[in-house]
């Protein structure tokens, strides 16, 4: 066997191995969405000629093309007859609808408190809606139930499976 044939066989074997074991350099792109703006530990104030209308406090906030996502959110509203605050672990704001998840608390200046694990707040209609269990307290009064609709403008409540204790003055 000549030396030329030996090196040709080795070269062909190496080229074959390279073709078989050739590394593939595929571009791996992460499909997750990238926010346009991200803030950490912030407070936003909405101010009008009357004064401070709304305040948003949060640990983390992200602005996307169509929505805002906030963690440890606290929304304060000073435009209603009574000052009110809504807080939650997670909040998503999209198209005038705030979707709240985890430790949802609504507190009003007159002592009315509403607690749930989830809820939706429509900023246009001032309606708070929850599908799960909730507790409303004010002074020594306590009401529990499921599926709540609370209109903050009209101060009306619709609820299901309601039980509670209420003290008449």
**139: CATH:** 2.60.450.10
Per the structure, the complete domain to which residue 138 belongs is given by 37-165
Residues with Cβ within 8 Å of residue 2, at least 6 apart in sequence: none
Average pLDDT over residues 25-41: 80
Within-domain flag for 16: no
In-domain check, residue 13? no
Q: Mean pLDDT over all residues of the chain?
A: 88
- Which of 28, 6, 9 lies closest to 17, judged by CA? 9
- Residue 1 pLDDT class (50, 70, 90 cuts): low
> Is residue 19 included in any domain, yes or no?
no
- Whole-model pTM: value is 0.73
Task: Kindly state whether residue 9 falls inside one of the protein's structural domains.
Answer: no
> Strands of 84-94's sheet, edge to edge?
37-48, 51-63, 68-77, 84-94, 97-108, 113-122, 127-138, 141-151, 156-165
| Tokens 């007859």, residue located | 81
144 in any annotated domain: yes
Residue 122 lies in a domain: yes
- Residues 53-65 have pLDDT tens digits of 989 999 999 999 9
Please report whether residue 60 resides in a domain. Answer: yes
**Using 50, 70 and 90 to split pLDDT, how confident is the model at 119?**
very high
pLDDT of residue 42 exceeding 70: yes
* Count of domains observed in the chain: 1
Residue predicted with more confidence, 71 or 124: 71
Per the rule left: phi > 0, alpha: psi between -120 and 50, beta: everything else, 24 is beta
């Amino acid at each position: 066997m000549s030396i030329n044939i030996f090196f040709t066989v080795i070269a062909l074997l190496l080229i074959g191995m390279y073709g078989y074991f050739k590394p593939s350099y595929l571009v791996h792109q992460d499909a997750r969405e990238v926010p346009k703006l991200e803030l950490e530990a912030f407070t936003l104030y909405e101010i009008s000629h009357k004064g401070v209308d709304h305040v948003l406090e949060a640990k983390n906030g992200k602005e996307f093309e169509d929505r805002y996502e906030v963690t440890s959110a606290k929304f304060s509203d000073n435009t209603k007859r009574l000052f009110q605050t809504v807080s939650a672990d997670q909040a998503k704001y999209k198209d005038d609808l705030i979707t709240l998840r985890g430790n949802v608390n609504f507190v009003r200046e007159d002592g009315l408190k509403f607690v749930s694990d989830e809820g939706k707040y429509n900023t246009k209609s001032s309606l708070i809606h929850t599908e799960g269990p909730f507790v409303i307290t004010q002074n020594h009064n306590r009401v529990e139930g499921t599926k709540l609709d609370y209109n903050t403008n009209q101060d009306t409540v619709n609820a299901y499976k309601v039980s509670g204790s209420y003290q008449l003055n």
